[in-house]
Amino acid sequence: MEIAARIAEGFIGMFQKGGTTFVGLVTGIIPLLIVLMTAVNALVRLIGPERIDKVAMISSRNVLLRYLILPFLAVFFLTNPMAYTMGRFLPEKQKPAFYDAAVSFVHPILGLFPHANPGEIFVWAGIAAGITKLGLGLGDLAIRYFLVGLLVIFIRGLVTERITAIMWARRSVSEGQSQGEESTSAAGAPSAVEAGGAALAGGEEA
């Protein structure tokens, strides 16, 4: 009986811990997310989607802005996953690099702007819990996380753009070679009219 009672206490205790965590979220991060999302939506309405799109078009012209400012604007204003639609202003060759930069920034931004990716706030919450237990402040961690994220997405954008350019060039070469082989085989093979004429001439000679 004592063993069964301990098992029951442990089972109920697990759900009590979950309830405590839920209460902490309700009184902590959830109101913050709601206020942040409301404020950002109001800011977008005040600025106007057209102006944000214009800034995005200007940012896409420079490599530094393309993989630093544009991913930040996309993730901050449009949030995950709508942020990736900002890549529509880029040429096809640069879209994979922008996506790589934007998708890599949805976590580093959480420390300062958790509204950008609320569905995965547990990533930041897990890191923050460990730092809090050590008695350290979260502000310094959030800023470092953010700055390192900017550096990482810039590097990833440059590398992915280079890889895409190499793959694009190889694709163009292979397509050119296949088209050349098709034209050569078409030129070497006799047409149906020529083949029919040759056969008719052979029949008359016989």
Residue 59 is assigned to a structural domain of this protein = yes
Task: Give the total number of structural domains in the chain.
Answer: 1
- Confidence (pLDDT) at 167: 92
Q: Is the overall model pTM greater than 0.95, yes or no?
A: no
User: For residue 53, what are the domain limits?
Assistant: 49-175
Cβ atoms of 73 and 56 within 8 Å: the answer is: yes
137 within some domain: yes
Decide if 67 is inside a domain.
Answer: yes
- Is residue 5 in some structural domain? no
Position 200 scores a pLDDT of 46
- Would you place residue 113 in the very low, low, confident or very high pLDDT band (cuts 50, 70, 90)? confident
Residue 48, pLDDT > 60, answer yes
Tell me: the pLDDT tens digits for 141-169?
889 999 999 999 999 999 999 999 999 88
> Is the per-residue pLDDT at 107 higher than 80?
yes
Determine, yes or no, domain membership for 166. Answer: yes
DSSP the chain: -HHHHHHHHHHHHHHHHHHHHHHHHHHTHHHHHHHHHHHHHHHHHHH-HHHHHHHHHHHTTSHHIIIIIHHHHIIIII-TTGGGGGGGGS-GGGHHHHHHHHHTSTTGGGGT-GGGSGGGHHHHHHHHHHHHHTT--HHHHHHHHHHHHHHHHHHHHHHHHHHHHHHHHHHHHHHHHHHHHHHHHHHHSPPHHHHHHHHHHHHHH-
Please say whether the beta carbons of 145 and 137 come within 8 A. no
In-domain check, residue 58: yes
In a domain, 7, yes or no: no
In the predicted structure, residue 89 carries a pLDDT above the cut 90: no
- Reported as a single tens digit per residue, the pLDDT across 18-39 is 777 667 666 666 676 677 777 7
**Mean of pLDDT over the chain:** 78
Decide if 29 is inside a domain.
no
